[in-house]
């Protein structure tokens, strides 16, 4: 038995982390995985999360019973308002179906699974993914029998958005295609459309009757402002475009291992939303029965208490602010101190956790193998891995591979 099972390659990001951990070099730097680190390269438990945890621990009324199939209602309702906006017509008209999921990955999976069963336009199921995108998007859609197709997004010449290519792809796709859109802080490029560009994208999506599959894993991380980072999603909802949103609290609440997320499907009316909700329940039941409670309780406390919510916003600004400082400092080192050849403005123009440096795969490889600086082959660096102790070393080594 299992003689025919081929050996699968290890996950490249987790392999990179393992190589970093095994490296004994004193000045090694991990710029691979997208998890926030403080200035001493330590994982950061948000102070507001510590506070919420102690409230939960002292709550005698809590037990370990199952949650409902679609999760903790106080969590999913507040989470929907956080991304879609509490004064959104979709929320007021009660036509958003929300399911608590196994973080953002689970939301993507449940959303993809729902589409695979019920999205019946266009013959064989396809989803358009930005080129490049989070690698797991490909795997998640393939897993449910939906074929990923690339759409133009990144322009290596400008290290910026290929806006015309993106618009052309929207226009050339058959009507009623499904487009996956990163709501903010695009992974891996750190390049988002401007609000004007989003408006133009929405217009074509509306004209072509495309379905928008928003993935929002970094709300708050792009600008430090939760509302600003939800702008594109809210604008699309206001325009009445059909969509769903996958939401993760891994990054913005530092709850990576707790797996707190939600899938929100916006329908045109309440009655449709009811039917959609009933089917999402059936799918969720067969996959996980019901989601885990601890992380959802923490986030629910934070979202539903005005004081804790304000504290959370400050914690998010601490994280986003440190990342922005690192961008500025890296840019300064490269352009002013080292006078590294080339234009490095993209380092400060890109947003969110990641930066696409624009270096070539062999240069990334040299950084890993010779400088003990761990980053993915596509030249993406996690800005959160930089700090005041290692940024000078990184800038110097980057300068070295660029000059070679
Ligand atoms: N979508 C994108 C674009 C991501 O970058 C990530 C995290 N790397 C996720 C979804 C999901 O993360 P999680 O399952 O940890 O919430």
| ipTM of predicted complex | 0.99
**Which position has the token pair 């691979």?**
32
CA 78-84-88 angle, to 5 degrees, is: 100
**For the chain, what percent of residues have pLDDT higher than 90?**
94
Which entry of 162, 192, 215, 315 is annotated as an active-site residue?
A: 215
Structure tokens at 160: 């910026």
- Please state the rounded mean pLDDT for residues 104-125: 90
Q: Which of 334, 351, 352 is nearest to 343 (CA)?
A: 334
Measured from the Cα of 34, ligand 1's closest atom is 8
| CA quadruple 288, 293, 295, 300: dihedral sign | positive
| CA distance readout (Å), 27 to 33, 168, 293, 362, 396 | 18, 45, 40, 21, 13
What was the pLDDT predicted at 122? Answer: 63
Q: Could you confirm whether 59 is annotated as catalytic?
A: no
Is ligand 1 within 6 A of the CB of residue 187? Answer: yes
Residue that the structure tokens 């906006």 belong to = 85
Ligand 1 center to residue 377 CA distance, Å? 19
Residue-wise pLDDT for 52-87, tens only, equals 999 999 999 999 999 999 999 999 999 999 999 999
Q: Would the CB of 258 count as within 6 Å of ligand 1?
A: no
CB-based contact 29:390 (threshold 8 Å): yes
- Atom 6, ligand 1: residue with shortest CA distance: 217
Sign of CA dihedral 17, 18, 21, 27: negative
Largest CA distance in the chain: 64
Average pLDDT of the residues in 290-302: 98
pLDDT at residue 267 above 80? yes
Question: Cα separation of 229 and 317, whole Å?
Answer: 13
Interior/surface letters 89-106, b for 16+ CB within 10 angstroms, e for the rest:
ebbeeebbbbbbbbbbbb
Strand 29-30 to strand 154-155: parallel, antiparallel, or no bridges (unpaired)? Answer: unpaired
**Cβ of 34 below 6 Å from ligand 1:** yes
**What pLDDT score was predicted for residue 123?**
64
Annotated catalytic residue 126? no
Pocket test for ligand 1, best of 185, 189, 250, 252 (most atoms within 8 A of CB): 250
Rounded distance between C-alpha atoms, residue 144 and residue 283, angstroms: 12
The region that residue 7 occupies, defined by phi over 0 for left and psi between -120 and 50 for alpha, beta otherwise, is: beta
- Pick the residue whose CA is nearest to atom 1 on ligand 1: 217
- The DSSP line for 171-208 is HHSPTT-EEEEE-SS-TTT-----HHHHHHHHHHHHHH
Contact 183, 216 (CB under 8 A): yes
| pLDDT above 70 (res 225) | yes
Does ligand 1 lie within 6 Å of residue 217's CB atom?
yes
5-15 tens-digit pLDDT: 999 988 888 88
Q: Tell me what pLDDT residue 287 has.
A: 97
Task: Report the atom number in ligand 1 closest to the C-alpha of 261.
Answer: 16
Structure tokens at 28: 């090694």
Return the pLDDT at 137.
98
Alpha carbon distance 62, 73 (integer Å): 15
Whether 248 has a pLDDT exceeding 90, the answer reads: yes
Q: Which tokens sit at 268?
A: 């045109």
- The backbone torsions φ and ψ at residue 26, rounded to the nearest 5 degrees and listed phi first, read -60, -40
Does the beta carbon of 358 sit less than 6 angstroms from any atom of ligand 1? no
162 is catalytic: no
Give the residue-averaged pLDDT of 343-349: 94
Domains, the chain, ordered by start:
12-45+320-403 (3.90.1150.10), 73-304 (3.40.640.10)
Ligand 1 geometric centre to CA of 97 (Å): 21
Distance 105 CA to ligand 1 centre (A): 6
| For the CA of 249, the nearest atom of ligand 1 | 16
CB 353 within 8 A of CB 36: yes
What's the pLDDT at 33? Answer: 78
Task: Give yes or no for residue 134 CB within 6 A of ligand 1.
Answer: yes
Helix (H, G, I), strand (E, B) or coil at 355: strand
So what's the pLDDT on residue 104? 98
**Which residues, in sequence order, are CB contacts of 225 under 8 Å at separation 6+?**
none
Q: Residues of the chain with pLDDT > 70: what percent?
A: 99
Atom number, ligand 1, closest to the C-alpha of residue 104 = 16
How far apart (Å, rounded) are the C-alpha atoms in residues 189 and 380? 7
C-alpha of residue 62 to centroid of ligand 1, in Å? 29
Task: Give the pLDDT mean for 154-163.
Answer: 94
Q: Is the pLDDT of residue 301 over 80?
A: yes
What is the pTM (predicted TM-score) of this model? 0.96
Active-site pick, 231, 251, 312, 344: 251
* Mutate which of 104, 135, 187, 288 for ligand 1 pocket (most atoms within 8 A of beta carbon): 104
DSSP 37: B
Ligand 1 centroid–CA 328 distance in Å is: 25
Could you report how far apart the first and last alpha carbons of the chain are, in Å?
51
Active-site pick, 44, 51, 134, 313: 134
Query: In this model, does residue 389 exceed pLDDT 80?
Result: yes
C-beta separation of 212 from 235 below 8 A: no
The CA dihedral of 230, 232, 234, 240, to the nearest 10 degrees, is -160
Query: Structure tokens of 75?
Result: 């969590």
Q: Report the C-alpha gap between 328 and 268 in whole angstroms.
A: 44
Å from CA of 216 to ligand 1 middle: 8
Find how far residue 270's CA is from the centre of its chain: 28
């Amino acid at each position: 038995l299992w003689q025919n099972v081929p050996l699968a390659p290890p996950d490249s990001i987790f392999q990179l982390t393992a190589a970093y951990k095994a490296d004994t070099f004193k000045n090694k730097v991990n710029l691979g995985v997208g998890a926030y680190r403080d200035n001493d390269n330590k994982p950061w438990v948000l102070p507001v999360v510590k506070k919420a945890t102690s409230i939960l621990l002292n709550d005698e009324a809590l037990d370990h019973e199952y949650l409902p199939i679609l999760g903790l209602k106080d969590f999913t309702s507040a989470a929907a308002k956080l991304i879609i906006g509490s004064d959104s017509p979709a929320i007021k008209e009660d036509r958003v179906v929300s399911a608590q999921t196994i973080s953002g990955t689970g939301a993507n999976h449940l959303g993809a699974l729902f589409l695979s069963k019920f999205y019946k336009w266009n013959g064989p199921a396809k989803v358009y993914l930005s080129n490049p995108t989070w690698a797991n998007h490909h795997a998640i859609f393939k897993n449910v029998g939906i074929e990923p197709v690339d759409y133009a997004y990144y322009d290596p010449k400008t290290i910026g958005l290929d806006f015309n290519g993106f618009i052309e792809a929207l226009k050339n796709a058959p009507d009623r295609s499904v487009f996956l859109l990163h709501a903010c802080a695009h992974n891996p490029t750190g390049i988002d459309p401007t609000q004007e560009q989003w408006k133009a994208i929405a217009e074509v999506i509306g004209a072509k009757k495309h379905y928008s599959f928003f993935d929002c894993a970094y709300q708050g991380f792009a600008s430090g402002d939760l509302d600003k980072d939800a702008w594109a999603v809210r604008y699309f909802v206001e325009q009445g475009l059909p969509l769903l949103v996958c939401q993760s609290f891994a990054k913005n609440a530092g709850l990576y291992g707790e797996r707190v997320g939600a899938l929100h499907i916006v329908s045109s009316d309440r009655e449709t939303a009811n039917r959609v909700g009933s089917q999402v329940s059936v799918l969720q039941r067969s996959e996980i029965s019901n989601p885990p409670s601890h992380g959802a309780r923490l986030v629910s406390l934070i979202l539903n208490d005005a004081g804790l919510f304000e504290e959370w916003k400050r914690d998010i600004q601490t994280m986003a602010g440190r990342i922005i400082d690192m961008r500025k400092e890296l840019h300064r080192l490269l352009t002013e101190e080292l006078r590294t050849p080339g234009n490095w403005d993209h380092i400060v123009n890109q947003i969110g956790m990641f930066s696409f440096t624009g270096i070539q795969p062999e240069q990334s490889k040299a950084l890993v193998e010779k400088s003990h600086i761990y980053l993915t082959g596509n030249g993406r660096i996690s800005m959160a891995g930089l700090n005041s102790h290692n940024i000078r070393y990184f800038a110097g080594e980057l300068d070295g591979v660029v000059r070679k």
